[in-house]
Amino acid sequence: MKEPGPLEDYLGTLEYLLSSKRQDHASMLAGMLLDSLESKGRTGDVLPTMEYLNKAGLKQLSGQDVLIGKVVADAYGKESWFPFVLKKVDVALDPGNIEKLSWKQFLRLQVNMSYLPGKPVYHSSGWGEGVIGEIDEDEDEVTIRFSNGREHLVPWQTALDSFTPLAMDDLRAMQMMDPDGLQQMAKDNPVEIVRKVLRLHRGKASSLQIKEMLTDKVVATRSWATWWKKAKKAAVEDPLITVAGSASRPILTIRKKSLSLSEEARYSLRHLNKVHELLTAIQAYLDRCTRDSDRAEILTLAHELIGPIAASGKVDSESIEALIWLEEHHEIEQAEFVETLQSFFGLDTGAFHFNKLRDLKLSKVRQRTISFLPAVLGEGWHKQVLPHLKNVPVDCLEPLFEMITGEGVDEDLAALWHSTAPFPNKNPFLLFLLTKAYADGALDGAEKKPDASVMARVIVHVIRTTSLSRKGSAEKTRLMNRIVTLLTGKRKLLVELLAEVDQRTIQSLLNSGNLGGEEFPPKVQEIIERVAHDRYPKIFLAPDKPFWELDSIFCTQAGLASYEAVFHELRDVKIPANSKAIGAAASLGDLSENAEWDAAMEEQRNLTARATEMEENLKKARLISEQEVPDGVVAPGTRVVYLDLESGDTKSMTILGPWDGEQGENVVSYQAPLAKALLGSEAGKTVEIELPTGSIQVQIKEISKV
């Protein structure tokens, strides 16, 4: 204090005391500093120091009343506005005798001086930013010129009460008073522009808020993408700014304390205990790195935090997550943990628990784990994985599927399609991948290559169900878009699949599209309609009989799946077993007196005939849900309440297909005499029904769709 050096050595201490709410200490030391500056002849430093202390929040000053008045008189006494403003501070003050000016009066003087001509101000209730113009001392009014070009004359006190003074380096002030300088700053120092925007948003703003404030005012719209890339990089490297959120929509915040990126990471990660949370946070910091030095520091920190977990020797999901992540970032070698992965999947016990993949929380870690399966499972690895594809997490399914299709597994993929197709609602993404594999020729070598028309029917059903449930689901929307692109792109796969389609199938596909409503993709429906017009124009004529009278078998999805399961059991299990029995019987010798041979051959005839019949029935199968069930009429897909006129009992039944007996209570096939006699009837009608036990009369009471 006796020999004051550079001001910054003192002002930082005073600001710290004020921010720590130690006004008494700050007041005493500030008074001593000003007195020392004045005594050493550094009067030019006194007023800037006083103005600095005002902005820092000093409320009182010890023992410097005479000094304050002298400094103010020397600085402003000759200004034309000085007497007017001084009276606003205190009517008793006289410009020629202000030695007794107190610190509190000085603070009020500083406030009033913020409204002098040329000073920028801001009106938050709609007028926006403006610049103070002339002062009319007689009328006690001031003119304000706003950025929109308008001028308003307002009372002096209204200006003080309603307008906020702006610093000359405030973004809004610079837009009015130094637009060229602001644009040059945006070009030379974009991070400073970002800081200015953040201050206007109380220290925190999104990239969208920053864009809205700067485009066309500071940065041209056409240049925004280039400028923002440069500004964001500078913000990431700025120790006073935190960048969080996603890469496409970051949130920027001004820090209270300067921190490097690695220092910030070390501070923010110290409370995270779970490995997947740590890895997510570390990856977010790596994504923010724009310098190799920052990246190296973050990786070093990551190794400190998760290295011990990876080296623990445990075989659990957290250890695996740590190992996989470190390998991906070249911190360890793959060979070091293949054996650990084998134990994780249970291979050391002779099993293969592929569902353990779901225990890994992070998608990137799961996907990376998949790439090690050939090393973990060894030769023929894909044969072990194929049975599990229906239960693989969606984010891992495609990369795993692509690895498998490169292994020449046409027959296996065809078998997978046949087992997945009956349940399109359960595995829509897998069916999309199988359809894509079909288009790429990956199933061409299969003996049981899927029928093109059946494949068309299945994938269109996937489209219909996905379109009805995709609202609010980004994952299903992406799947829908990819299916539509596959079917309607340059190759026109859907046209190819429909090349040999029969009339029943094309009619079913048309119905699927119609029932899908507005959500069903128009491109797909247009192709189906065009093929139908070209090949079966009669479809578009008015039908002369209801759908249940057509030569088809109508059923629910569940009923169809049940019937197909019986068919597959017959074709894939019982018939092959019978063939083995025939071979065993033949080995017994003379066939003319071989009872085992006769029995096996008789069973073969029965099984083959049954399989042929079931296969024909499946070709005729159509879903009730894809038909237009008429309103108020008894039809497949309706629940009927009826009165037995003889017994007086009211009964109900649900009319479905011949394979739907297990779909609930009181389910009756539309082909059964009881339901068949009611088809096409309306509520109120009395119908006589011929049953094996005799005839009955019933009156229909209610009809509702199911």
CB 689 within 8 A of CB 679: no
Residue 265 banded pLDDT, cuts 50, 70, 90: confident
How far apart (Å, rounded) are the C-alpha atoms in residues 640 and 654? Answer: 6
SS3 of 504-519: the string is: HHHHHHHHHHHHHHHH
Q: Which comes out higher in pLDDT, residue 538 or 677?
A: 677
Q: What is the pLDDT of residue 329?
A: 83
Confidence of residue 28 (pLDDT cuts 50, 70, 90): very high
Q: In terms of CATH architecture, what is 178-258?
A: Orthogonal Bundle (1.10)
Over residues 640-645, mean pLDDT: 94
**H or E element: which one contains 394?**
helix 394-405
Report the percentage of the chain scoring pLDDT > 70.
Answer: 97
Nearest to 142 by CA among 162, 130, 161, 159: 159
Q: Is the pLDDT assigned to residue 649 strictly greater than 70?
A: yes
Q: Is the pLDDT of residue 105 over 80?
A: yes
pLDDT confidence of 484, banded at 50, 70, 90?
A: very high
Q: What is the mean pLDDT of residues 644-660?
A: 93
Q: What is the pLDDT of residues 374-406, one digit of tens each?
A: 999 998 898 889 888 888 999 999 999 999 887
List C-alpha distances in Å: 452 to 296, 431, 437, 444, 494. 54, 14, 13, 12, 9
- In this model, does residue 588 exceed pLDDT 80? no
Above 70 in pLDDT, residue 93? Answer: yes
DSSP symbols for 149-203: S-EEEEEHHHHHHH-EE--TTSHHHHHHH-HHHHHHHHHH-HHHHHHHHHHHTTT
pLDDT tens sequence across 57-91: 999 888 665 688 888 888 888 888 888 988 888 87
Q: Is 458 exposed, middle or buried (0-12, 13-18, 19+ CB in 10 A)?
A: buried
pLDDT value for 247: 79
DSSP symbol at 3: S
Is residue 424 a contact partner of residue 458, using CB atoms and an 8 Å limit?
Answer: yes
Pairing of strands 553-555, 621-623: parallel
Residue 352, phi then psi, degrees to nearest 5: -140, 100
Give the integer Cα–Cα distance in Å for 303 and 318.
Answer: 15
Judge contact between 28 and 34, C-beta under 8 A: no
pTM comes to 0.53
Residue 647 to residues 615, 651, 682, 697, 699, Cα–Cα distance (Å) = 42, 11, 22, 10, 12
CATH number for domain 120-165, candidates 1.10.10, 2.40.50, 2.60.40, 2.30.30: 2.30.30
Per-residue model confidence (pLDDT) at position 645? 92
Each residue of 333-349: pLDDT tens digit? 777 788 899 999 999 88
Query: pLDDT tens-digit profile of 506-518?
Result: 888 888 887 777 7
Tokens 């009014």 correspond to 141
Q: What mean pLDDT is predicted for residues 299-320? A: 89
Kind and range of the H or E run holding 691: strand 686-691
Q: What angle do CA 660, 662, 664 make, to 5 degrees?
A: 100
Task: Name the H helices within 549-669.
Answer: 557-569, 575-586, 595-620
Mean pLDDT across the chain: 88
CATH topology of domain 628-705: Chitinase A; domain 3 (3.10.50)
> What whole-number distance in Å separates Cα of residue 365 and Cα of residue 327?
10
Domain ranges of the chain: 8-113, 120-165, 178-258, 628-705
As a whole number of angstroms, the distance between CA 668 and CA 617 comes to 19
Residue with tokens 């309609």: 529
Position 371 pLDDT exceeds 70: yes
Residue 538 DSSP label:
G
pLDDT tens sequence across 237-252: 888 888 888 878 899 9
Helix (H, G, I), strand (E, B) or coil at 274: coil
- Under a CB-based contact definition with an 8 Å cutoff, are residues 31 and 63 in contact? yes
Range in 300-309, 467-476, 669-678 with the lowest mean pLDDT: 467-476
